[in-house]
Amino acid sequence: MEYRKLGNSELELSAITYGAFAIGGTMWGGTEKKDSIDSIHASIDHGVTTIDTAPFYGFGLSEEMIGEAIKSQDRSKVQLLTKFGLVWDGSNNGKGDFFFDADDNGKKVPVYKYSSKANVIKEVEESLKRLQTDYIDLLQIHWPDSTTPISETMEAAESLIQQGKIRAFGVSNYNVAQIQEAQKTIQVSSNQVAYSMLNRKIEEELIPFTVAENIGIIAYSPMERGLLTGKYFTDSKLKENDHRNGYFNQFDLQKVKTLVEELTSLAHAKEASLSQLVLRWTSLQKGIAIVLAGARNAEQAISNAKTMNFDLSASELEFINQAIAKIK
C-alpha cells in the first residue's frame, strides 16, 4: 500500500481508503454486520489503514461497527475520518437546510444540513462514543449549511483541535469560495468530493485551487456506486429500496457499457479486476490525495487493497483517457 500525506496536515493516509457508507445499510438495501466487520479487519490487514465514515451512514450504525471492529487494533496505526452536519434525529428542531427524506425500513426520516457550533460539538461527542475512541484523525463537514455562518462552524472545529479531540479538519462538497471563507478561521486540509471517470467536473476550477493551496482531494464515488464494476450490465439485480435504481439513470448506460468493455480488456492484460483498474486510474489523477472504496465483505476489501499493487504506464493511461473521452 502507498501512504500519502493529506494536504497541509500531518496525517499519513492509505491511498485507498475504506469508504464506510455502504456498511451502514442506509439506502443500500441493508447490511450484514459480521461481513462488514470482517471487511474492516481484512482492509487493515492488507494495508488499508484509513477508514472514512459519517454519523449519517446507517444512522450511527456504520460508526458503531467501526468502533467494534477496531477495538482489537492498535489505534495509533488506524486513521479514522468522520463527519458532522447531516442531522436525522430531530435534534435540530427543524433548523438548517432540509436536504431529503431518507428511508428507515419504510419510515421517512427528514435529513437536514445543519452545522451550528452546538451541533458540531454534540455530533463529535456522539461519534467519539460510537467509534470507541478519544480522538478523530480527520473531522469533515459533510455538506455546506447555508443557514449557519461558515465562521461559526469553523470556530467549533478549531476548538475541537485545541482540545485534542480532532487532529485535522477537512470539508466535503465545498466549492472554492466556501473553502476560502473557511480558511479565514481554520486550516483546511482536505475537501471530499465526488470524482470518477464519469464525473470530472472538479478538474475545471476546484483541483487547480486545491493543488495551489496544498489541500488534499478525497475522492468519493470513484466507482459511481458500483456502475463501473461492470456487474450492473451482467448479473446484478438491485434491491427495490436501493437508491441506485434512480441514480444510474443520469448516465448514458449504453456508452458506459462500451467503456466498461474497453477497460475490461486492459484490466485482463494487467491481471487486475475492472474495479482495481478504475480505482488505480483515479489514484493517479492530479490533485487526488486518497480514493474511497467501499467493501461489504472481506473479499471485496482485499481486492480494493490490491489496487496499489500495480502501476499504469503513460500509454495505458492514454488508452483509458481516450476510452473515457468517448462518453462525452
Q: Please identify every residue annotated as catalytic.
A: 57
Cell digits for 274?
Answer: 475492472
Q: How many helices (H) and strands (E) does the chain have?
A: 11, 13
Residue type, 163: Q
Residues in the chain: 328
User: In Å, what is the CA distance from 53 to each residue of 220, 264, 290?
Assistant: 11, 30, 14
Q: Are 27 and 243 in contact (CB under 8 A)?
A: yes
**HEC string of 172-215?**
ECCCHHHHHHHHCCCCCCEEEEECECCECHHHCCHHHHHHHHCC
Q: Please list, in sequence order, all residues whose beta carbon lies within 8 angstroms of the beta carbon of residue 317, skipping any fewer than 6 positions away.
A: 281, 284
Pairing state between β 166-172 and 190-194 = parallel
Whole-number Å distance between alpha carbons of 211 and 207:
6
The full DSSP string for 305-322 is HGGGGS---HHHHHHHHH
Sign of the torsion angle spanned by Cα atoms 18, 138, 228, 210: negative
- The residues with which 134 forms a beta bridge, in sequence order, are none
Cell digits for 207?
Answer: 483541483
Whole-number Å distance between alpha carbons of 190 and 171:
6
What one-character DSSP code corresponds to residue 84? E
What one-character DSSP code corresponds to residue 326? T
| Helix (H) or strand (E) segment spanning residue 218 | strand 216-220
